[in-house]
Amino acid sequence: MRRALLPLVLVLVALAPGFAQDSTTERQVASDTTDGIVARAQKYFRGIYVSGDPAIIDELASNNIAISYPIFEQIYGKFTLRGKDDAKQLCANFTRKFEDRKITFLEVIADDDKVVLVWCFEGRWVSTGDDRPSGPVQWAGISVFRVNEDGKIDKEYGLETDPDTGAAFSRLLASERTSDGDNR
What's the domain count of the chain? Answer: 1
What's the mean pLDDT when you consider all of the chain? 76
pLDDT at 173: 37
In which order are the strands placed within the sheet that holds 153-161? 80-82, 61-68, 153-161, 133-147, 114-126, 98-111
Q: Does 176 fall in a domain?
A: yes
Q: Does 68 fall in a domain?
A: yes
DSSP alpha helix (H) spans, the chain: 2-22, 34-46, 55-60, 71-76, 83-97, 172-180
Q: Does 67 fall in a domain?
A: yes
pLDDT at 125: 81
Q: Does 21 fall in a domain?
A: no
pLDDT mean over 85-91: 94
Give the number of residues written for the chain.
184
Instruction: Specify the pTM.
Output: 0.72
Residue 166 domain boundaries: 2-15+30-180
Q: Does 10 fall in a domain?
A: yes
pLDDT at 12: 45
Q: Which CATH number characterizes residue 102's domain? A: 3.10.450.50
